[in-house]
Amino acid sequence: MTPSQLFLQLEADRRRQVHLSLCEDALSTWIDGVRSKSVPLRYRDSVVGMSHRVDTELPADALRSACAGVDLADTADRYLEPITALQDDDLSFPDTVEFAYYAIYNCFRKHALGDDISDWLIVNQALSVHDLSEAAARLTRAIDEIHR
């Protein structure tokens, strides 16, 4: 059985544990992007030309909220501007960092806000921060961790 098939057969709580594990890994990609300065710290929106600062703590706060099952730090409201900016191409991150950002955002939405987000979308985004050759092994490792 493939790692994706194993994941899809897990109960909801175990899928959540896999999401949190994979997003913890994705958070490292975000942090590395911030430290290496590949993440812009400022951007300008194209609608009104207003300058914005990237909230570098937002993904960590989102993951903490997903773990707790509740929005701990006004995270939902803090995501409104940067998600819009990403979708409008006013803000851009390197691909791996963007996948990490979206994986954590969607994990937060699913597990802290209760939004109907596909379980596989979160896994796919979180694994996309890595080389394709590593993805199956990382998913297998995350599944194995929850069985310990």
How confident is the model over 80-101, as a mean pLDDT? Answer: 95
As a whole number of angstroms, the distance between CA 63 and CA 59 comes to: 6
Lowest mean pLDDT: which of 47-51, 72-76, 99-103? 47-51
CA 58 to CA 61: how far, in whole Å?
Answer: 5
pLDDT of residue 112: 98
CB neighbourhood size of 27 (10 A)? 21
Beta bridge partners of 43: 52
Question: Helices (H), strands (E): how many in the chain?
Answer: 7, 2
pTM value is 0.95
Mean pLDDT of 111-116: 98
